[in-house]
Structure 1
Amino acid sequence: MLIENNASGTTLQLTLTQKDDWVKYISLAADYDFYHTWHYHAMASNGRPILFVYCEANNFIAIPLLERAIQDTPYYDLHCVYGYSGPISNLKFSDTSERLKRNFLKAFSAFLYKGSYVSVFSRLHPFFDQNILLQETDSIYENGKTVVINLQQSIEEQRKQYRQTTRDSIKKCRKFGYVSVETTAQEDIAAFTKLYQSNMNRISAADFYLFTEEYFTKLVRAKEFDCKLILVYSNDDLVCGSIIMCTNGIIQGHLIATNAHYLKNSPAKFLVDEISELGRKWKMKYYHLGGGLGYKEDSLLEWKLGFSNMVLDYYSWRFIANKAVYNQLVEKSGNQIHTNADFFPLYRMIPQ
């Protein structure tokens, strides 16, 4: 743990070896999701996890990130875990003083300079108003929309929002006798892994998304957050399944997979409806379905809009800490600074 004191407050840089401190700060946050937890960061394989914390009086602002070396340079950059993370605080950002926000950004900038960090990328959480903290950096990007089912309304009101095609698919699955089960059995985790990997291979997904049985087992068995594996069966056939996370009233539809032989029946629609019912039993308030592929307005987003008219704006934070070095790295990569490509940092993009 690196600790620095200045006139305003104290800066901490936690790594995975400071598990108790990491867990403590997350648990004290007014808003957080499983994406912020020590356990989820401990599973990351694409960077060295750190939790930057700025403390002042009895308040703090923190942000978890993954550090990566920039090849053939003395520099590094920071990005986030897969999912929605961004900064957290023991205060709602709407209740945070201008002084605390300003001093956090100042301390974070000093941390970036000292650590030779060129850029920072973080997906922001659609529920947490993190823009209030970061807007002064002029580095917030609109990335599209995400879809949410409001579980605080009645199930009847919820289903009235379904498109007719969504309603028909769910009805058909019930007619076929599909059933959903929550499970932690190892053979079920193995079966879901096989189904998920076959889905990823079918769509030629990047290697990053080919999660293993060990990965799913660690999620399901984690103590720091509430992960659930929900599977849908037709007799003895595994039809589809989803890994979901339940944190502070929000269900995150983390990953979903469908048996190719059953795609024509749209069993994933039935699964979403079933999870929304279970969510009410678990006292959840929202079921966050997410957005389109790469957060574009595509067929996946349209599929999710078939369930709900509650839509949230989704943003990412793309901060350049060292513009001169950033521009040099982009030029060296063969890319153009003023490209329209939705990619950050540009020096990591493979030139088209």
Structure 2
Amino acid sequence: MTKLYTINNKPEWVSYVQKAAEYDFYHTWHYHKLETTGAPTLFVYQEQDDFIAFPMLKRTIPGSDYYDLGCVYGYSGPFSNRKMEDLDDTLKENFKQAFLDFLSTEKCVSVFTRMHPFYNQQLLLEKFGGVYDNGQTVVIDLSQSIEDQRRKYRQSTMDAVKHAWKRGFTVKDEKGPEAIAMFMSIYNETMTRVNASDSYFFDEDYYNEVLNTPEYDARLLNLYDGDKAICSTIVMFTNGIIQAHLIGTRTEFLHHSPSKFMADEISVMGRSLGMRYYNLGGGLGFKEDALFKWKLGFTDLCFDYKSWRYIANPSKYQELLDKKDIDQNAGIDFFPLYRYA
């Protein structure tokens, strides 16, 4: 049986996520409600008590009467009441056929989703083809002791943590309009400094929404040097996983490396909340750049990050490329390519 839900079907969406064997805050109804780049859609294929659900964003392809499917910012992909490695092969094959029928009926040319590095979603999606290796994400294993964790720190990382201890830095879990205003000031300064695109800037309503939901545990943490907030982050604690969502540091305090101390403190907090992993993320575009190497200063544990890039209608996909005079074999790492530039 196939079911299709929109953002107006909150009880059904929430119910499926709650029944999932593996999920993160990226899958939730509330996080999808914040999305403005497409219409949130939850595709569900179900046989008796077993189901496979796939949250996506349906988007109009400009200049056509066709659509494509994208995903929220972060790691989403399909989820199920069973772990991906435990899904019956017949169920996976039936899901594939049902999903292909859905793509055809909805006139969807392509599908793109960032796959969750902690779940074996490739075991399902590789049946379609289009699974891409995109790099790695850096992870701290919180099942080890904090002492063992810190023994793996790069010397410069541990030095920054010790410097913060000596200076008396403190991290506070804060709520309310003043905390959000403080976060926005620090985060926007950081995004301006690194010349981030407009998509990395959010308004106050977004922060109020993302921080206030029972579907996951979102926290705003401010790091203080005395009475001055110098680093601020929003982190999510969901189903055993900490996700570093957004972070910023005041320019004048960069030389103190407060974000290193913040990460160490979050790992301590995560243990108290029963978390198993702290995902620091990858480099910019998941390249092994300076950001990636900075994160490796905490741990040598990395998980593979994959994306799913599926062309459902090859002839229409090629037609859209021809309209923009784009060569599909140009070696451009972007999907779907007809949305490039």
Which TM-score band applies after superposition, normalised by the shorter structure?
A: over 0.9
- Taking structure 2 as the reference length, what is the TM-score of the superposition? 0.99
Corresponding residue number in structure 2 for 1:143: 134
Q: Structure 1 residue 300: deviation in Å?
A: 0.6
Corresponding residue number in structure 1 for 2:237: 246
- Unmatched tracts of structure 2, length 5 or more: none
Out of 261, 265, 273, which is 1:270 matched to? 261
Within-5 A mapping of 1:52-201: 52-201=43-192
Structure 2 Cα separation of the partners of residues 345 and 76 of structure 1: 11
- Taking structure 1 as the reference length, what is the TM-score of the superposition? 0.96
Alpha carbons 2:96, 2:127 under 8 Å: kept: no
Structure 1 Cα separation of the partners of residues 232 and 277 of structure 2: 19
2:200 is equivalent to residue 209 of structure 1: yes
Structure 2 Cα separation of the partners of residues 272 and 248 of structure 1: 19
Corresponding residue number in structure 2 for 1:321: 312
Deviations 1:45-80 (A, max 9, x none): 110000000011211001000011011101000000
Structure 2 Cα separation of the partners of residues 257 and 348 of structure 1: 30
Q: Structure 1 residue 213: deviation in Å?
A: 1.8
Q: Structure 1 residue 322: deviation in Å?
A: 0.2
Structure 1 Cα separation of the partners of residues 280 and 95 of structure 2: 32
Structure 2 Cα separation of the partners of residues 255 and 176 of structure 1: 25
Corresponding residue number in structure 1 for 2:296: 305
Q: Could you tell which deviates more after superposition, 191-200 or 149-158? A: 191-200
Q: Secondary structure at the match of 2:127?
A: helix
Structure 2 Cα separation of the partners of residues 192 and 335 of structure 1: 41
Alpha carbons 1:333, 1:348 under 8 Å: kept: no
Name the Cα RMSD after superposition: 0.8
Q: Structure 1 residue 245: deviation in Å?
A: 0.5
Amino acid at match of 1:140: V
Provide the aligned length of Structure 1 versus Structure 2.
341
Corresponding residue number in structure 2 for 1:344: 335
**Percent of aligned positions with the same letter in both sequences?**
49
Alpha carbons 1:331, 1:337 under 8 Å: kept: no
Deviations 1:174-208 (A, max 9, x none): 22211111111220111101211111111121111
Corresponding residue number in structure 1 for 2:322: 331
Alpha carbons 2:233, 2:248 under 8 Å: kept: yes
Structure 1 Cα separation of the partners of residues 279 and 255 of structure 2: 24
Q: Secondary structure at the match of 1:136?
A: coil
Q: Structure 1 residue 30: deviation in Å?
A: 0.5
Within-5 A mapping of 1:287-306: 287-306=278-297
Alpha carbons 1:120, 1:320 under 8 Å: kept: yes
- Unmatched tracts of structure 1, length 5 or more: 1-9
Corresponding residue number in structure 2 for 1:6: none
Q: Secondary structure at the match of 1:326?
A: helix
